[in-house]
């Protein structure tokens, strides 16, 4: 089964911070899912797909400027599981399913 790892630092000036939450900014979960989908597309070499999110869990907030590691593993079922970590903690996990080619 294929595996891939991507690193990404969440930019402190990302527009999501302007409303999520003023004075105590955290990365919205949907932004983490969007980044996971972009990396999954890079992993399989296909883009602009209509992904299904099988499940997702968010364990810890991500702050501006935090470095993240996204780890992906393709499953025999055709889904792709992912885990997101900072240097010292788990941030999120879930699974994605792309439509058949």
Q: Tell me, what DSSP letter sits at residue 48?
A: S
pLDDT in tens, 26-59: 989 999 999 999 999 999 998 888 999 999 999 9
Residue 4: per-residue pLDDT: 97
Domains of the chain: residue spans and CATH = 3-97 (3.10.129.10)
The predicted model gives 14-27 an average pLDDT of 81
Residue 1: per-residue pLDDT: 61
Structure tokens at 40: 């999954």
Nearest to 54 by CA among 100, 91, 98, 90: 98
């Amino acid at each position: 089964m294929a595996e891939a790892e991507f690193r990404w630092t969440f930019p402190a000036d990302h527009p999501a911070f302007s409303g999520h939450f003023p004075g105590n900014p955290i990365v919205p979960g949907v932004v983490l899912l969007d980044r996971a989908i972009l990396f999954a597309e890079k992993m399989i070499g296909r883009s602009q797909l209509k992904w299904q999110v099988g499940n997702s869990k968010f364990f810890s907030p991500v702050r501006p400027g935090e470095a993240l590691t996204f780890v992906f593993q393709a499953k025999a079922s055709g889904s792709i599981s992912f885990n997101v970590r900072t240097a010292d903690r788990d941030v999120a996990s879930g699974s994605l399913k792309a439509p058949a080619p």
